[in-house]
Structure formats: C-alpha cells, structure tokens
C-alpha cells in the first residue's frame, strides 16, 4: 500500500493522473496567421466559427494569450525550443542560423523520452540550422487515427493553412460573406477592395472552422476524445495589412482554447468547462506546459512559465514580443504588454511601419490601401503608417483603443505606466538575453569568425555586452544633442555595438562629423548608415559614393544597403546604374531570395516599365 501511495504522489507531482486513466494524449491544433478578433467566441459578431465556439464552451478559453513573434518562423522557433527566438538569434524571418543543439533540446525530444509517440503534420518552419526539422518527430505524415490509437500516449500536432496570409490573395469578388457588413479597423481606408478582402478572410476563417470540426469528429470516431486534451490556437496574429509582422495588439493576441476531458479534471484551470481564463499566457509558456502536464522532464533552458496543471507556476505580469527582419524588409522593435497596456520600442524609428514588402503587396487590400494614400483619400491615421515612424516609443490602451492608433507616450496621466513598461522591457531583454541589437549580417560574420552560434556569442560579454549595448541604444535613440560628444566617441570603440549605435545616434541628430568619421568603418552596416547620413546632411556626393562602392563590391550588408536606397527616396535614383549591374550568386540569393526581391523593389520604383525577374511567392 505504501508503494502505491508513493507512486500516486510521484505521478501527481509530475502532473499526470495515476490509475486507469493513464497519461493524457494531446492533440494540438494550430492555425496560421489569424488573431483572436476573427473568432465568434472572442466577440466578433460577423464571424462564423461554430466549431471553435463550441470547443470554447466545452473547454477553457484563454482571454490573454499572446505570440512572442508576429510571424511564423520566429514564432515556431520559440515554440519548438521553449526559448525566445530573439534569445537564440533565430528571430529574423527565414534565417536558418545554427543553435547549440547539444544545449537546447527540442520539446518533442523530452516527450519521446517520456514514452510519447510524437507527430507533426505538416508545418514545422523552425528557423534554425544544424538539425533536420523532422528528426525530433516520430511521424510527420497525415495522422492515421488507428495508428495513434495503437501508440498511446501520443502528442500530435496538426496545422491548418486555411487562414494563412496567402489565402487572402487572389479573387475577392465572389465571397460568401457580405463585404458591406464587415467592420473595418480605423487605420484601414473604407474602400471597396478593402471590404472585399475582409469578407474573403472571413470565408477563410469559416473554412478553418469546418476543417477543425472534421478532425474533432475523427478523434471522436476513433474513441480517443475521452483521454485526449485538445489545444487550439493560431501561430500568431494577422492577417490583413498592419497586423501580421507588426507588434500591435491584433498582431500578437491569439485565440487559445483547451478542452480537457473529465478524467483529467485535476488539470482544469477553473471549476468547470466553459470558463474564460483571465491568465496572461505567452507562447513561450506552451512547450514547458506540455512537458509538465505529461510528466516529462522540463529542462532548465526553457524560458516560459507552466500555466496548467499541478506544476503551474506564478502568472507573469508581462508578455514580451519582438520583431526583426521580415522577408526583404528591415525593422527592429520590441514590445511588452500586460492585460491592458501595450508598449512598443522602435529601434529603427527612421523607417516606415508599412514598407513595400513583396509578399504582402500581393494582397488586394494592401494595394487598395496604397492607392488611397497616394490618391489623398486616406485619413491622417491611415496615411502616417507609410511615413517614417518618428516615434521611438508607442504606448496603447488595449481596452479603450484596440486598433492601437492613439499613442499615449506623451500623456501625463500615463507617465507612470510608461516608466513601468520601459523598465520591464529592459528587465526582460536582460533576462532572456536579447541577441537582436546588432545587425543580422554582423552576427553572421561573427559566427563564422568564431566558429560558434549567435546564441552562444550573445552570452559572451567580450563579444556582446548586452547591458552596455542597451545603454548605447538608449543614448542613440534619445536624440539629445548633448549626447553628441559621447556618440562620436562611441564611433572609435573596438566594440561593434558601440559603433553601430553611435552612428545611429549621429544619424538621428544629422551630425555630419559623425558620418564622415564612420564612412570608412570596418563594419559595412556602420558604413552604410554613415553614407545615408552624409546624403541627408548635405555631403551627398561622398555618401552616394560610399553606397555605390558597397553595392559594387557586393557587400555582405547588401540587403541593408538596398533598403537604405529605398528609404532615401529620390536620392536613391542616382544609384540605379550600380544596382542594375548587381549580380547575385547562390551564396547571396539564398532560399527565399530576399536580396533579389529587394533589388526588384528598388528598380520597380525608379525604372519605369521594369519587370521583376523573380516570382513573388514566399
């Protein structure tokens, strides 16, 4: 009897149920690109999502679940490791940089150790190199329910692509939903194609709901519903323009519904199903939680908090999110939010929010928005997103302003909130080791030079002193003329982080002396920013010559250079001959050919009749 009691206590401490019920199966249903606002159970009166609404009534609906990245690959990189992608250097979209796999095992590895049969159909997209994405899974084919029944306990992921951004492309003329009844965000112009694209996406969400219903029916028919926990959520927010890829509320706020059978009642987060759960959940919490409730080992490298079951940890007050390069376009920002306020820090305030992006510009809604802005019919709120931000900081009240259009940074009554959010962001960046504060191309060079990974180098203060880099960035972004002597001094530092943020600070203050000093820097990223500064500050000939040289020598920072040419506006036209002569070899034109896409964006802008040679599909 003592042995039985001890075994029961041990299993309970591991988060599993002893006795005939055994360990729970987990079916994780993930959809792509849809924020919570697209579902009926999250308050959308026009959504047709009866299956998911019913699932929410049978399970537990989380009201505050947020993605750590607003795009798939960095989000899934965070999921599979339980480590923030920005902590490993895997935050730029589709970058495939190695991580130290001997130190960071993936969550299915631990499930396999525990005796779980693991399956994933069919989306992986983990955004790292050094290990095949399929290796950690027992099965990556379409689920065979008979096979799953014979391989219990199982952990099965099924991904649904009906709501992916690509499904919002194409014909918008024959939608089942009525465009006239759609409710537009205030930042979108009320034009016919915008309404039609909204209606098309409502159709997509309805198809997703139907497909999820089919899977749940198969689970029922296989006799597995009574011992399988069902989890549903999207991989990040979206998908109409200014949602996916950004750090706004609808970019990050995702549906999360968990149905837990009666036999695993000990895992319920509330007294009975149908409850709406107020806890703040970050996506980085999920792998750690799945391991905890299955009784698997929970490794120390995981950065989240367990939010379900006997191993539940204290709720975190804040959520951290990040964005870096998105396909061909560069930007860099961080966000923290609690259940009400969202704070965004823009590390590139000199570029627009809405930069022309090859993939996003396939959407009719994007094209209609651009036409409204260029035609002068868009409002100030709708037009400003296409201009340089000018804001280093943004603060939004998500309850009163769900569209996030009223920046409260200068509001005296929100001063305390602002200071608290600033402080929390820095604490989080230091806690997780934010590896995204020097340019991506420089990390690639450092990784090659040291034969190491970005993840490991970011934890070496001799290479990357994060606290010092954060101080340097703060100094640069302050745009305080009294900082100029210190910023110029930073340009002479042996530390790349100092020199990079030194030139950014000089750029924001339009300091010609800083530009001249940095124009011959060893770093091509520093040199490119210095050249742009010189063009802006009146030393146009020197600045253009510097950029032309970087183009002609096929700089390792060519993607940055091409983005700068576009950001420069009409001055960039003078660099067209150099860009036209630019040839890409295989080393440069990697899988998604972002450099080629960016070249095509620039030449399309400046050369009438230019036809891109490359396709625009992702």
Q: Low-confidence residues of the chain, pLDDT below 50?
A: 1-21, 616-617
CB count within 10 Å of CB 226 equals 13
Give the pLDDT of residue 588: 55
- Identify whether the C-beta of residue 242 lies closer than 8 Å to the C-beta of residue 187: yes
Q: What is the spatial order of strands in the sheet that 319-323 belongs to?
A: 319-323, 333-337, 341-346, 393-397
The SS3 of residue 274 is: coil
Query: What tokens appear for 16 in the block?
Result: 């599993």
Residue-range domain boundaries for the chain: 2-169+197-309, 433-606
CA–CA dist 552, 547 (Å, integer): 9
The SS3 of residue 128 is: strand
Give the pLDDT of residue 74: 98
Torsion of CA 274, 280, 286, 291, to 10 degrees: -80
The tens digit of pLDDT for each residue in 345-398 reads 999 999 999 999 999 999 999 999 999 999 999 999 999 999 999 999 999 999
Q: For residue 409, count CB atoms less than 10 angstroms from its CB and return exposed for 0-12, middle for 13-18, buried for 19 or more.
A: middle
What are the DSSP calls for 319-383, one per residue?
A: EEEEE--BTTB---EEEEE-SSEEEEEES-TTSBSS---TTGGGSHHHHHHHHHHHHT-S-HHHH
Q: For residue 617, count CB atoms less than 10 angstroms from its CB and return exposed for 0-12, middle for 13-18, buried for 19 or more.
A: exposed
> Omega into 344 within 30° of 0, i.e. cis?
no
Spatial CA neighbour of 281 closest among 104, 37, 36? 36
Give the pLDDT of residue 22: 83
Give the pLDDT of residue 593: 87
The pTM of the full predicted model, rounded to 2 decimals, is 0.95
CA–CA dist 586, 589 (Å, integer): 5
Query: What tokens appear for 414 in the block?
Result: 């929100």
- Annotate 26-81 with three-state secondary structure: EEEEEECCCCHHHCHHHCCCCCCCHHHHHHHHHCEEEEEEECCCCCHHHHHHHHHH
Count, residues in the chain: 618
Q: Which CATH architecture has domain 433-606?
A: Alpha Horseshoe (1.25)
CA–CA dist 61, 58 (Å, integer): 9
> For tokens 């798939």, what's the residue?
72
Give the distance from CA 73 to its chain's centroid.
Answer: 8
> Omega into 303 within 30° of 0, i.e. cis?
no
Query: What tokens appear for 554 in the block?
Result: 């096929």
User: Based on C-alpha coordinates, what's the Rg of the chain?
Assistant: 25
CB count within 10 Å of CB 573 equals 14
Query: What does the angle CA 203 – CA 618 – CA 553 come to, to the nearest 5 degrees?
Result: 155
CB count within 10 Å of CB 241 equals 27
The CATH superfamily assigned to 2-169+197-309 is Alkaline Phosphatase, subunit A (3.40.720.10)
The tens digit of pLDDT for each residue in 175-195 reads 999 999 999 999 999 999 999
Q: For residue 231, count CB atoms less than 10 angstroms from its CB and return exposed for 0-12, middle for 13-18, buried for 19 or more.
A: buried
Q: What is the spatial order of strands in the sheet that 276-282 belongs to?
A: 117-121, 154-160, 25-31, 228-234, 253-259, 60-66, 276-282
Phi, psi torsion values for 562, nearest 5 degrees: -65, -35
């Amino acid at each position: 009897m003592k042995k039985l009691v001890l075994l029961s206590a041990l299993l309970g401490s591991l988060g599993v149920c002893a006795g005939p019920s055994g360990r729970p199966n987990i079916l994780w249903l993930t959809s792509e690109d849809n924020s919570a606002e697209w579902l009926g159970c999250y308050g959308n009166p026009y959504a047709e999502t009866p299956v998911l609404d019913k699932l929410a009534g049978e399970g537990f609906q989380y009201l505050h679940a947020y993605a750590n990245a607003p795009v798939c690959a960095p989000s899934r990189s965070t999921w599979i490791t339980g480590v923030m992608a920005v902590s490993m250097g895997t935050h730029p979209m589709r970058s495939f940089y190695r991580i130290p796999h001997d130190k960071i095992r993936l969550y299915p590895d631990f499930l396999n150790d525990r005796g779980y049969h693991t399956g994933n159909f069919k989306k992986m997209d983990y955004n790292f190199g050094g290990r095949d994405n399929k290796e950690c899974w027992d099965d990556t084919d379409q689920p065979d329910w008979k096979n799953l029944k014979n391989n219990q306990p199982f952990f099965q992921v099924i991904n649904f692509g009906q709501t992916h951004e690509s499904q919002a492309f194409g014909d918008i003329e024959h939608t089942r939903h009525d465009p006239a009844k759609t409710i537009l965000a205030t930042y979108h112009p009320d034009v016919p194609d915008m309404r039609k694209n909204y209606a098309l996406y409502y159709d997509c969400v309805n198809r997703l709901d139907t497909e999820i219903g089919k899977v749940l029916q198969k689970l029922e028919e296989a006799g597995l519903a009574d011992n399988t926990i069902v989890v549903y959520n999207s991989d990040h927010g979206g998908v109409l323009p200014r949602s996916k890829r950004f750090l706004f509320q609808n970019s990050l706020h995702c549906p999360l519904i968990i149905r837990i059978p009666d036999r695993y009642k000990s895992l319920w987060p509330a007294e009975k199903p149908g409850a709406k759960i107020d806890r703040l959940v970050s996506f980085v919490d999920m792998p750690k939680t799945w391991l905890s409730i299955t009784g698997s080992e929970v490794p120390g490298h995981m950065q989240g908090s367990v939010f379900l079951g006997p191993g539940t940890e204290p709720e975190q007050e804040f959520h951290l999110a990040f964005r870096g390069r998105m396909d061909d376009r560069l930007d860099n920002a961080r966000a923290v939010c609690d259940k009400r306020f969202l704070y965004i820090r823009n590390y590139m305030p000199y570029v627009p929010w809405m930069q022309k992006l090859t993939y996003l510009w396939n959407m009719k809604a994007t094209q209609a928005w651009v036409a409204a802005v260029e035609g002068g019919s868009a409002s100030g709120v709708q037009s400003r997103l296409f201009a340089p931000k000018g804001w280093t900081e943004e603060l939004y009240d998500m309850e009163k302003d769900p569209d996030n259009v009223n920046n409260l940074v200068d509001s005296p009554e929100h001063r305390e909130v602002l200071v608290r959010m600033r402080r929390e962001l820095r604490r989080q960046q230091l806690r997780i080791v934010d590896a995204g504060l020097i340019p991506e191309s420089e990390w690639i060079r450092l990784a090659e030079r040291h034969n190491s990974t970005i993840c490991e180098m970011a934890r070496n203060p001799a290479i990357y002193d994060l606290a010092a880099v954060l101080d340097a960035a703060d100094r640069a972004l302050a745009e305080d003329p009294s900082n100029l002597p210190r910023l110029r001094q930073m340009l002479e530092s042996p530390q790349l982080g100092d020199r990079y943020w030194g030139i950014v600070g000089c750029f924001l203050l339009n300091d010609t002396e800083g530009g001249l000093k940095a124009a011959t820097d060893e770093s091509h990223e520093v040199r490119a920013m210095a050249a742009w500064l010189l063009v802006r500050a009146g030393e146009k000939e020197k600045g253009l010559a510097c950029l032309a040289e970087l183009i002609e020598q096929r700089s390792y920072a060519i993607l940055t250079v091409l983005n700068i040419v576009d950001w420069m506006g009409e001055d960039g036209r003078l660099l067209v001959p150099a860009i036209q002569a630019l040839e890409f070899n295989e080393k440069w034109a990697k899988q998604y050919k972002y450099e080629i896409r960016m070249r095509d964006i620039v030449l399309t802008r400046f050369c009438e009749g230019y036809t891109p040679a490359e396709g625009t599909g992702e």
